[in-house]
Structure 1
Amino acid sequence: MASYTEAVDTLQSLRQDIASINPDLQFSFRDSIEPVYRQFVALLLQPLPNVTVELNEIQATLPSEILLDQDFSTTTLQERLASADFPIIHLATHGQFSSKAENTFILAWDRAINVIELDEILQSRTTTTQTGIDLFVLSACQTATGDNRATLGLAGVAVKAGASSTLATLWSVSDRATASFMSQFYRELTQTNLTRSEALRHTQRTFLEKTEFQHPFFWAPYTLVGNWL
């Protein structure tokens, strides 16, 4: 994530330099740079090699349709969410929280989908399908991070848009640990008579007691928003 941080710092410094030269240019510059900013940051995010492992292990536990790489485009995601009655939707990708809604996003193959667009996509599903989203999993960094403008960030938006529950993260997470965590979570959820909150707690306990990812950094960021049952 170092290159991402450097990119943000560079853009912020550039804004400050321009503002110090001519404060009148600050607002117009910000308006023009925000879309470029999102795509620039998205391009610098590192690949997630364990996403394929994560999705394949989930599919082995729960019958699933996988949209990977080029198939995970903004258009395809919109179309599948609007036309298919999936009770569980699992997105494994990059995520970012910002105090600006337009810079809070998840990353599809072709571009970033900001929180406003995600809300519109999920809202449109509620009008076109019979089955609601029972569980919406945002397997990405900072997807439950929020502030006084956006409580619980992307996860909060998903619940407001109609998802019964959202499993999301409070900070940046490890790609490899996340793949293992999600695989264990779905095993707990489908093979035992547990509620979602109990499945999450059992998974966290397993990580604490029996895996190489015992440090809370690896298992503590996952939180359930909405219906815990």
Structure 2
Amino acid sequence: ILALPGQDLLHYTTDLSQVEIEDTLTKLRASLAIKKERKFTKKRLKLSQKVHDWLISPIEADLAANSIENLVFVLDGALRNISIAALYDGDKYVVEKYGVALAPSLKLIDPKPLVREQIQVLSGGLTEARHGFEALPNVNKELQRIQAQVPAEILLNQSFTNINFKTAVNDNTYPVVHLATHGEFSSHAQETFLLTWNGKLQIEELNTLLRADTKQTNPIELLVLSACKTAAGDNRAALGLAGVAVRAGARSTAASLWYVSDEATAFLMNHFYQELAKPNVTKAEALRRAQLAVLQQEEFAHPYYWSAFVLVGNWL
């Protein structure tokens, strides 16, 4: 179903079996989320183009006729675990032509542009190994680069505790919250968490924090989760944490579908905030430009490095 601005809904049908859909999407997800040798490139692009032909090729004429720049998807099942930005038309990736965002439901979205003059970031992260999770040595660089782009407070390592984070959020002076720490999305609330210095911040706690913040005059406009991953084999996981964040009052969430090297993530996030600070650049366009910047680096050209990040919620 395609909804174009100011027009009636358009319906398209692709006749496929459930088995073929799930098998193709599982293979595509694996080809994107695991960096493999160049000999696998042809196979990955073939899978990517196959799914592009299912989803986007049938509507491209309408998109071109209406000069569409951003695509907002309401996805279901295994589609939630793949990167739409990495779909391939035989010549270009989707990210090279469109900004992409996801929505748990279009009814939940009230898109409003981010006020650039008011961008302030609360950032938190861990560089050291904690609670059985490996170190993220490039997180400090990531947070420092963000602070160089926009005003930001940094809670790093011992400073990034549950209590300190909750206190900072409740101060309600930060429209953007950026967390560079391990975490996992699951469709089960008890298995969805973010890692802090002193333990896990469970999804219920984050939910409560965000809901409390919406009672104030300035809700969180953007929550960025830069070192998380989705639970393997869980088709509802991709919108687990991000979806809850949107429902709880964060207007949009940027998060990764799989864990990406923190070096590539630091590079991407630097460009994301550099673009986000510019006037008239939407969140979706800022992410698109950042992903293109990573894609253009030879060592990070594989979609594993740049296509994991998705924007859920308000794309403006």
TM-score, normalization: structure 1? 0.76
CA separation in 2, counterparts of 1:122 and 1:146?
28
Unaligned runs of 5+ in 1: 1-40
Is 1:203 the equivalent of 2:290?
yes
Query: How far off its partner does 1:191 sit?
Result: 3.3
**Residue of structure 2 equivalent to 1:160:** 247
- Percent same amino acid among aligned pairs? 51
CA separation in 1, counterparts of 2:287 and 2:250?
17
Report if aligned partners of 2:231, 2:237 keep a CA contact under 8 Å in 1.
no
| Counterpart pick for 1:133 among 191, 201, 220 | 220
Is 1:96 the equivalent of 2:195?
no
Is the alpha carbon distance of 1:63 and 1:55 closer, same or farther for their aligned partners in structure 2, counting shifts above 3 Å?
Answer: same
Dislocated runs of 4+, deviation >3 Å: 143-151
Structure in which a larger fraction of residues adopt helix: 1
TM-score, normalization: structure 2? 0.56
Is the alpha carbon distance of 1:80 and 1:103 closer, same or farther for their aligned partners in structure 2, counting shifts above 3 Å?
Answer: same
Q: What amino acid is the match of 1:222?
A: F
CA RMSD of aligned residues (A): 2.2
Is the alpha carbon distance of 1:143 and 1:66 closer, same or farther for their aligned partners in structure 2, counting shifts above 3 Å?
Answer: farther
1:19-98 pair list within 5 angstroms: 43-98=131-186
Q: Deviations over 1:111-150 (max 9, x none)?
A: 11121221112112223x3211111111122269895666
CA separation in 2, counterparts of 1:180 and 1:193?
22
Report if aligned partners of 1:189, 1:199 keep a CA contact under 8 Å in 2.
yes
Query: How far off its partner does 1:98 sit?
Result: 3.5
Q: Count residues in correspondence.
A: 188
Structure in which a larger fraction of residues adopt strand: 2
Q: Deviations over 1:164-201 (max 9, x none)?
A: 11111111111111111101111111135311101111
Report if aligned partners of 2:185, 2:238 keep a CA contact under 8 Å in 1.
no
| Counterpart pick for 1:179 among 266, 273, 284 | 266
Q: Per chain length, whose mean CA-contact separation is higher, i.e. which structure has more relative contact order (CA < 8 Å, sep 6+)?
A: 2
Q: What amino acid is the match of 1:141?
A: C
Report if aligned partners of 1:145, 1:153 keep a CA contact under 8 Å in 2.
no
Is 1:188 the equivalent of 2:275?
yes
Q: Deviations over 1:68-114 (max 9, x none)?
A: 11111101111111113211111110011334321211101111112
